[in-house]
Structure 1
């Protein structure tokens, strides 16, 4: 059983020393998968021969088919502490998923952590320490950005007959933006950069250079300096330099690329990268973007094009993690029941789903006082009024309130149809012709 496990493995994903592994834990993780266990009541067990982990895998039955199919993974392992357990659990899960993909040819991806439970025998009573991850936010609102100018800018760029190589590079740029893992994003951006570099490789031959002084190498037998077309690495450096990248950044990106291509991860080489280590993806992404811009005629960029670049290419997600103590049932074989029915951790969205940009409306102090009074009155309007009253700013003697697009649509319908009611009358005054709305 798990209680007698000790670690003797040297695998990179299990490299924590025996001395550090002082605490038994069990992680409850959900995994997206293309395949399922043959029956919903069957539990598969994968036990590491070296004792590093035990994984119990089963289907998560679903009645709502709009949600993705998920597998449940319960991973039993050891860690220095509960706070250090997530990183170890991620490595062990990756070992399981890698082998599952290798032996089945199917796709597996971690969906989310649910809990990590302290599996040690409780010192007193039956209470256990648990890290409990919040439920995923129901929806991710987009960033309102697209306007008519964006469409006109695309039409202008399409006037240029983009070569096939650059179309392929644009494809890898798109895939890199969308990729979930920062490691994948870096690799995809590098693919795009290599394609641009190969396309731009000059026909003129160059000399081999001395690795120490960078002078052209001389062959005494041939009595001349050997020449060749630029190598891929030389061509990539030329593209980076054209994109205003300095030598130190070029060297850092090249070393990062070499490390990833030889099997390491960004997290494993984070000591050699900027902080946070994922920001190396942003550095490469911005250089690639500049390199792609240079593939279009300069006269296109005369100030009339609308172009956008994200503050970061990394897909960060916020989640709540609660440290709780509660009783966790254990079956006769020592396996934990991790359903935790009736107990959830959640992040409450600020309002209903949005796609359009929010509005700003201007009101007087007297109107704002009436808004506050209405926010305390029970009714189907209350949540909307509370959202509006908590996002205000005083300026020029007026109160300016931020109104979500979904709420504004409801308000405008009520005002235009002349619905009767206190909040409808208030917004009729606020949105009336005497007051401007932003």
Structure 2
């Protein structure tokens, strides 16, 4: 399993197979819901083990190997039973709990688990002839592509590669590339922040600086020495100086440092967003990611120290956003199932096929892989 590990860590107690926690009795006003997930994982069940089941304090989990019709990246199927007042609350609860449980499972196994998609969410209350459900579709596991790569892009790459200053910027550019291709906004923010840290260190002034009062930003005075102490810039001061040179406002700098510290200290995305929303209405972390992406780009570009004649020859791309968005179709429906209504089973659920058709701005159907218009005869 994931290779042999030997780090000299001892654990007290004995690992039990299943059923470590019993489900607490649900509130009588809560309905029973089942959420059917697909999981990307480096572990699968052995061929002679068709299913694993476990009862947790607030939910029940079943896991099987993924089927032949699932995406190639999906290794497992998982059903999570939760209790909630309505389908919207059940959707939010199931999404949060499957992530938490998979995080714990990753810790317990030191192997990767990630919920890739939710196939359906259904009222699983015994005795129902017709059940309320969300049925999801439209995810093909692909990545959006634009047919815009041209010779100018390669020519610009060649010109940048020939720049005298690029050698010292290899590491910042590696982190920039990681930020552009990362899946999650928090990871993207961190990678672009690494760029700022590295550029700040490479370009910081040797001039001595003073520490500032956190309230009025005046120089701090030492009464014992009867002077204002000076020192070489610390890393935070070097980053602030870089952001000043890039004309980033003090309020934006404050929010960038707040987001960075929040991520580093384990705050959730919603916690970070809620606090910033108190001073910036409608804030989403995606906005900060796009801002720090542009800031990191400017920091690297300035560090290249190109002549204006060189800049004039470059063709540089600038997408609307680097944050990944996934479009998922969701149908809210009432549907029946086969079998005994008092003992509903996952194998008795027959889902409708939901297909997302991509179109261009003219309403013409396009190939999502190439962007080419599909001609229907």
Q: What's 1:244 paired with?
A: 247
Question: For residues 173 and 199 of structure 2, what CA distance do their matches in structure 1 show?
Answer: 9
Alignment partner of 1:27 out of 26, 35, 47: 35
Q: What's 2:300 paired with?
A: 292
Q: Is the 8 A contact 1:24 1:79 kept in 2?
A: yes
Question: For residues 325 and 254 of structure 1, what CA distance do their matches in structure 2 show?
Answer: 47
Alignment partner of 2:200 out of 170, 179, 197: 197
Task: Work out whether 1:233 is the aligned partner of 2:210.
Answer: no
Task: Work out whether 1:309 is the aligned partner of 2:318.
Answer: yes
Q: Is the 8 A contact 2:172 2:195 kept in 1?
A: yes
Q: What's 1:54 paired with?
A: 60
Q: What's 1:208 paired with?
A: 211
> Structure 2 unaligned runs (5+)?
1-18, 359-364
Compute the displacement of 1:36 (Å): 0.5
Q: What's 2:131 paired with?
A: 128
Question: For residues 40 and 280 of structure 1, what CA distance do their matches in structure 2 show?
Answer: 48
Q: Is the 8 A contact 1:330 1:337 kept in 2?
A: no
TM-aligned CA distance change 1:339 to 1:3, over 3 Å: farther
Secondary structure of the 1:74 match is: strand
Compute the displacement of 1:317 (Å): 1.6
Q: Is the 8 A contact 2:138 2:327 kept in 1?
A: no
Q: Is the 8 A contact 1:172 1:191 kept in 2?
A: yes
Question: For residues 222 and 77 of structure 1, what CA distance do their matches in structure 2 show?
Answer: 64
Compute the displacement of 1:98 (Å): 0.7
Compute the displacement of 1:160 (Å): 1.7
Question: For residues 35 and 101 of structure 1, what CA distance do their matches in structure 2 show?
Answer: 10
Q: What's 2:329 paired with?
A: 320
Q: What's 1:419 paired with?
A: none
Q: What's 2:94 paired with?
A: 89
Q: Is the 8 A contact 2:44 2:76 kept in 1?
A: yes
Q: Is the 8 A contact 1:165 1:196 kept in 2?
A: no
TM-aligned CA distance change 1:159 to 1:60, over 3 Å: same
Q: How large is the RMSD of aligned CA atoms in angstroms? A: 3.0
Question: For residues 326 and 6 of structure 1, what CA distance do their matches in structure 2 show?
Answer: 27
Compute the displacement of 1:27 (Å): 0.7
Alignment partner of 1:159 out of 158, 162, 165: 162
Secondary structure of the 1:294 match is: helix
Q: What's 2:44 paired with?
A: 36
Task: Work out whether 1:100 is the aligned partner of 2:105.
Answer: yes
Q: Is the 8 A contact 1:137 1:348 kept in 2?
A: no
Q: Is the 8 A contact 1:40 1:58 kept in 2?
A: no
Secondary structure of the 2:346 match is: coil
Secondary structure of the 1:185 match is: helix
Secondary structure of the 1:322 match is: strand
Alignment partner of 1:279 out of 278, 287, 290: 287
Compute the displacement of 1:294 (Å): 0.9
Show CA shifts across 1:209-268 (max 9, x none).
222332322323333322222122111122222222111111111111111111112223
Q: What's 1:348 paired with?
A: 357
User: When the two structures are superposed, what TM-score results if normalisation uses the length of structure 2?
Assistant: 0.82
Q: Is the 8 A contact 1:328 1:337 kept in 2?
A: no
Q: What's 1:395 paired with?
A: none
Task: Work out whether 1:180 is the aligned partner of 2:183.
Answer: yes
Q: What's 2:223 paired with?
A: 220
Q: Is the 8 A contact 2:33 2:90 kept in 1?
A: yes
Moved more, 316-325 or 204-213: 204-213
TM-aligned CA distance change 1:82 to 1:276, over 3 Å: farther
> Structure 1 unaligned runs (5+)?
8-17, 360-382, 387-438
TM-aligned CA distance change 1:221 to 1:320, over 3 Å: same
Q: What's 1:400 paired with?
A: none
Q: Is the 8 A contact 2:129 2:336 kept in 1?
A: yes
Aligned length: 346
